[in-house]
């Protein structure tokens, strides 16, 4: 859904988790766009400002932050999450049951859901939609990699994975896996293979069962939604929603002046500059984790690959002061899994600063003042936070224990190759998960995608590798404990040092009483009041 540094160069910031219910309801804000009144009851216009990374309104092709906002408003998924809680999937268009071996997910369609043309949502629509994601082979197709989708009755379908896949129920709520109206899409060039040509149609007319229908679409400027009269759920509070592409500094001005009612993408400075008498600020931890790693390849650096040096760095960092850089709402994860997900550790379970112990470990490493280089991308921000400020803080803290760190910032397009090729001595990067399940973080273990970028080969740490294999194989209630044990061991010997989850800052007009935020689809416009 989001564009993650795990897959491509740059990230458009994803939203924090946290459904907010605000106390009270102010009078209509001045300067309401188009003269429309604000408020619930199916009346008025809601204007939402965001920084677009919008590529398409075709739900089965989108895999960007803004695209997920759009798809969530127009379509429904087979499974969903309740509010901001991503620890337990719940029924959407279907109820579900997973087999004991975590290979077969059976979905039973719920009755009463209708598309915007009034036709019933059927199991055929669901099968077609998921097969269309696979057949198009676009950005989100990897979500269903190794999965066979089959209709098994007039009301059921099965998703069968080649190997145990306990994360699958957590993947299905992704808006890229939305169910489209098969008949309408096929009539307009759609198919479940590479010949699909329905994108242009879906950029102009929605074919879903969500709370809104598409009124107009401009990927560079704005998307306009109107309420779907055929929606089977609670009617949306606003008859019309305008989602606009606006830079952060202008978002701040607009929401304070009443030109918009929600600003989704404020950096810490913009959030701190808000007039709290005019707006309400929501600050909560995002699902992004900013982390440091020390390369474990002696060929890259005999210094950073020394276990005592690695220990010295872990003990030398002032984690609390780094979290403070990101402002209110930022948190420190206890391990590489963010605080929002199953299996996360609390901050007190993570590494802690101990300056004297750090100096002792540094002496034991034989370090003689050699310069070590810290690389990071300097032309992107994570939730508005510049990595430059984090890098400078790390540099200063390590200097206090006697480590000579030089900063080597570079544009992400340049630095990404060094990161992916595993040639950085010390790297400062961030990870945006592809789905809200701890299995997505096995990439940080020996021999896996991000592990190899840190020179952590499959045979480098047998104990952690064994725990990673155990976590991968764990089922049911055992999974959280398995991932917790893995992270404790990884904190002890692994090359990765989780630093913080920066805050997502959202500002709303006082007239907005409830904002439905979620880390998978950012904001549920249909549930915002």
Dump pLDDT digits (tens) for 123-150: 999 999 999 999 999 999 999 999 999 9
Counted domains in the chain: 2
Using the CB atoms, write b or e for 497-523: b if 16+ within 10 Å.
bbbbbbbbbbbbbbbbbebbbbbbbbb
13 located within any domain: no
CATH of the domain at 226: 3.40.190.10
268 located within any domain: yes
Give the Cα separation of 37 and 347 in Å (integer). 45
Same domain, 300 and 269: no
Same domain, 520 and 392: no
Kindly give the parts of the chain with pLDDT less than 70.
1-42
The whole-number pLDDT of residue 190 equals: 98
305 located within any domain: yes
189 located within any domain: yes
- Token pair of 511 as six digits: 């007239």
Same domain, 128 and 268: yes
Same domain, 390 and 431: yes
Same domain, 391 and 467: yes
3-state secondary structure (DSSP) of residue 186: helix
Same domain, 163 and 308: no
Task: State pTM to two decimals.
Answer: 0.86
336 located within any domain: yes
16: β partners: 286
The whole-number pLDDT of residue 368 equals: 97
Same domain, 310 and 322: yes
Of residues 124, 169, 118, the one with CA closest to residue 150: 124
Give the Cα separation of 121 and 381 in Å (integer). 41
- Token pair of 526 as six digits: 């249909």
The whole-number pLDDT of residue 1 equals: 37
3-state secondary structure (DSSP) of residue 329: coil
14 located within any domain: no
**Where does 188-247 have alpha helices with state H?**
199-202
DSSP state of 245: E
Same domain, 125 and 190: yes
Could you tell me if 106 and 96 are in contact, meaning their C-beta atoms sit under 8 angstroms apart?
Answer: yes
**For all residues of the chain together, what is the average pLDDT?**
91
Could you tell me if 27 and 396 are in contact, meaning their C-beta atoms sit under 8 angstroms apart?
Answer: no
Same domain, 57 and 206: yes
Same domain, 255 and 293: no
3 located within any domain: no
CATH of the domain at 426: 3.10.105.10
Same domain, 272 and 318: no
The whole-number pLDDT of residue 380 equals: 85
Give the Cα separation of 237 and 39 in Å (integer). 7
Residue-range definition of the domain harbouring residue 139: 20-284+504-527
DSSP strands (E only) in 136-211: 147-151, 156-161
Same domain, 229 and 363: no
Of residues 221, 323, 254, the one with CA closest to residue 507: 254
**Phi and psi torsions of 79, nearest 5°:** -120, 160
351 located within any domain: yes
The whole-number pLDDT of residue 31 equals: 34
């Amino acid at each position: 859904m989001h564009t993650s540094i795990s897959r491509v160069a740059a990230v458009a910031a994803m939203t924090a988790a946290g459904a907010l219910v605000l106390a009270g309801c102010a009078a209509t804000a001045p300067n309401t766009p188009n003269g429309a009144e604000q408020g619930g009851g199916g009346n008025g216009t809601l204007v939402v400002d965001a920084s677009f990374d919008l590529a398409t309104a075709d739900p089965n092709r989108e895999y960007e932050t803004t695209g997920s906002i759009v798809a969530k408003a127009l379509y429904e998924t087979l499974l969903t999450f309740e509010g901001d809680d991503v620890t337990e999937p719940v029924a959407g268009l279907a109820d579900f049951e997973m087999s004991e071996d975590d290979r077969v997910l059976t979905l039973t369609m719920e009755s009463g859901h209708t598309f915007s043309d009034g036709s019933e949502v059927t199991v055929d629509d669901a099968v077609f939609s998921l097969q269309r994601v696979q057949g198009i082979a676009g950005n989100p197709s990897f979500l269903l990699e190794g999965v066979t989708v089959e209709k098994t009755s007039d009301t059921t379908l099965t998703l069968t994975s080649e190997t145990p896949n306990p994360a699958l129920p957590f993947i299905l709520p992704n808006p890229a896996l939305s169910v489209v109206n098969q008949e309408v899409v096929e009539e307009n060039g759609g198919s479940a293979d590479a010949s699909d040509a329905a994108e242009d149609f879906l950029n102009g007319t929605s074919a879903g069962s969500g709370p809104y229908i598409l009124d107009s679409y401009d990927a560079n400027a704005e998307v306009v939604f109107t309420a779907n009269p055929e929606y089977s759920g609670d009617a949306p509070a606003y008859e019309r929603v305008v989602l606009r592409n606006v830079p952060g500094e202008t978002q701040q001005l607009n929401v304070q002046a009443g030109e918009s009612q929600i600003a989704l993408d404020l950096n810490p400075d913009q959030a701190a500059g808000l007039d709290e008498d005019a707006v309400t600020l929501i600050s909560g931890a995002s699902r992004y984790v900013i982390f440091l790693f020390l390369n474990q390849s002696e060929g890259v650096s005999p210094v950073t690959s020394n276990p005592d040096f690695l220990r010295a760095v872990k003990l030398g960092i002032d984690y609390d002061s780094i979290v403070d850089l990101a402002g209110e709402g930022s948190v420190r994860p206890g391990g590489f899994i963010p605080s929002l997900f199953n299996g996360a550790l609390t901050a007190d379970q993570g590494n802690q600063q101990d300056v004297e112990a750090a100096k002792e470990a540094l002496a034991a490493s034989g370090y003689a003042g050699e310069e070590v280089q810290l690389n990071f991308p300097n032309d992107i921000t994570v939730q508005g936070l510049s990595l430059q400020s984090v890098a400078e803080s790390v540099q200063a803290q390590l200097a206090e224990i006697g480590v000579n760190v030089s900063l080597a910032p570079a544009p992400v397009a340049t630095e990404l190759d060094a990161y992916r090729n595993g040639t950085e001595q010390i790297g400062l990067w961030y990870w945006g998960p592809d789905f809200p399940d701890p299995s997505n973080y096995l990439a940080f273990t020996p021999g896996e995608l991000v592990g190899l970028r840190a020179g952590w080969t499959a045979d480098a740490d047998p104990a952690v590798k064994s725990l990673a294999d155990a976590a991968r194989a764990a089922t049911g209630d055992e999974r959280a404990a398995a991932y917790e044990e893995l992270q404790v061991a990884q904190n002890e010997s692994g090359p990765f040092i989780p630093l913080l989850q920066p805050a997502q800052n959202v500002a709303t007009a006082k007239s907005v009483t409830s904002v439905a935020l979620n880390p998978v689809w950012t904001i549920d416009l249909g549930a915002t009041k």
